[in-house]
Amino acid sequence: MASKVAAQMYTVRDFCKTGKDFAESLRKISDAGYTAVQLSGVGAIQGENPDVPVAEARKMLDDNGLKCIATHRSWDLLSHETQAEIDFHHALACDWAGIGGLPVPRAEWGPDAFRTFVKTSRDVIAKLKAAGIRFGYHNHANEFVRMGPGPKTWYDILIDEGGPDLMLELDTYWAVHAGANPTRIVKRAHGRVPVVHFKDKGVDKDEGPIMCPIGEGNLDWDDIIPACEAAGTEWYAVEQDKCQRDPFDCLKASLEFLTSKGI
């Protein structure tokens, strides 16, 4: 079975600020055994005058045998320069675009803000879909604030009111950090979790809770992986925001663990 594991480039963002460093990072990721990446936090391809134009980025990926399976882009670009973003993703042969949180200041987050986003994003999502690009929302912990005395959270608005075309790029670490159950989430969002961020949570005797390579923490992967498979997940994007050792080594360790689990 072909691997379904991708390296989230945000993990090595400090090594992707120039074209030269980006190329070297892609080589290291390919050498570690990855066949796919998510492009997020790559300084070399961001901004108005990127060091690496999208066509060159595609060539770098191809040269290293890597597929771009997803991106994180700004909602401002996706909503106001939609055709340019479609062209960007087509140039990368990437059919999945996401954002890393609600596109309003954190102080404005709440049920109304989430419902407004769900409604106002539909036209943009429809345009992307017509061009063969799926759109997804990546969570942190903040989405899991409860609404009133019941168990419902802001994230439930995305699940229950987002509709079938609003994909959910579940981040396992942040869900668990918020006290949510990632297995239950992917079951509820069946068919809407084509890309899931795999991130483990461990405990350091001095630092307390930490992010760590997959399999070196305490998340129940024997429960999470089958649930994702049953929910139709196509790609597992390995991400580690903070690394206690070399991030490339962390990515390699995560891939080895997931390969041992058959994905």
Q: What is the CATH number of the domain that holds 37?
A: 3.20.20.150
Burial 95-124 (b: 16+ CB within 10 A, else e): bbbbbbebeeeeeebeeebbeebbeebeeb
CA distances from 43 to 18, 46, 50, 99 (A): 7, 5, 8, 16
In this predicted model, what pLDDT tens digit does every residue of 32-78 receive, in sequence order?
A: 999 999 999 999 999 888 999 999 999 999 999 999 999 999 999 99
Domain hosting residue 231, numbered range: 5-260
- In sequence order, the 6+-apart residues with CB closer than 8 A to the CB of 176 are 182, 201, 219
Segments in the chain forming alpha helices (H): 19-31, 54-63, 75-80, 82-92, 111-120, 122-130, 154-161, 172-177, 182-188, 221-231, 247-260
59-68, 147-156, 208-217: the lowest-pLDDT one: 147-156
Residue 1 in this model has a pLDDT that exceeds 90: no
In this predicted model, what pLDDT tens digit does every residue of 90-130 receive, in sequence order?
A: 999 999 999 999 999 999 999 999 999 999 999 999 999 99
Total-model pTM: 0.96
Contact of 76 with 103, CB cutoff 8 Å: yes
Q: How many domains does the chain have?
A: 1
Question: Given this model, what pLDDT does residue 48 score?
Answer: 80
Burial 137-166 (b: 16+ CB within 10 A, else e): bbbbbebbeeeeeeeebbbbbbeeebeeeb
* CA 8 – CA 216 distance, rounded (Å): 18
* CA 88 – CA 121 distance, rounded (Å): 19
